[in-house]
Amino acid sequence: MIERIEFNGEQLALIVRSSFQEPGVHFFTPSHLSQQLAYMRHPAGHAIPPHIHNPVPREVQYTQEVLFLRRGRLRVDFYTQAGVYLESRELGPGDVILLATGGHGFEILDEVEMIEVKQGPYAGDADKTRFTGIGSAQARVVRL
């Protein structure tokens, strides 16, 4: 239900499958990541006390993004920082993925509807380096 994609001891991505259902609060990311991902499940009547987030200086080096797949199927291809293809995973409705490091590309398998969350502000062309990845015929798709 939780899958970590790693290369050379570095976490590239974290997938939370739609089937994950545990009571309480579960943070899947270590505190040093600039994008935090948690799952929360509480019964009716549970209260989360009102709170304010304090201004805390933070330094963000790389953009990390979270995709919430609402509908369809999507193949995610993972690459090293140097652009070398590693492996692929397929996501379906209700799956969530945190893309932390390395490179990634996507192929839409069935029309998708998804939500993306990432840090800002967006730096335009300076925000990413595009490269030629694998073609769909070359992909080693891992079906889960």
6, 33, 48, 55, 133 from 88: Cα distances, Å = 12, 23, 38, 38, 12
Domain assignment of residue 3, yes or no? yes
* Residue 12, in any domain of the structure: yes
Q: What is the mean pLDDT of residues 16-44?
A: 93
Contacts of 34 (CB under 8 A, 6+ apart): 58, 60, 61, 62, 64, 119
Q: Is residue 15 part of a domain?
A: yes
* CA separation for the pair 93, 68 (Å, rounded): 8
pTM exceeding 0.75: yes
Structural domain contains residue 87: yes
**Residue 46 placed within a domain:** no
101 domain residue, yes or no: yes
Inform me whether the pLDDT recorded for 139 exceeds 70.
no
Range of 111's domain?
A: 1-19+66-121
How many domains does the structure of the chain reveal?
A: 1
Q: Is residue 61 part of a domain?
A: no
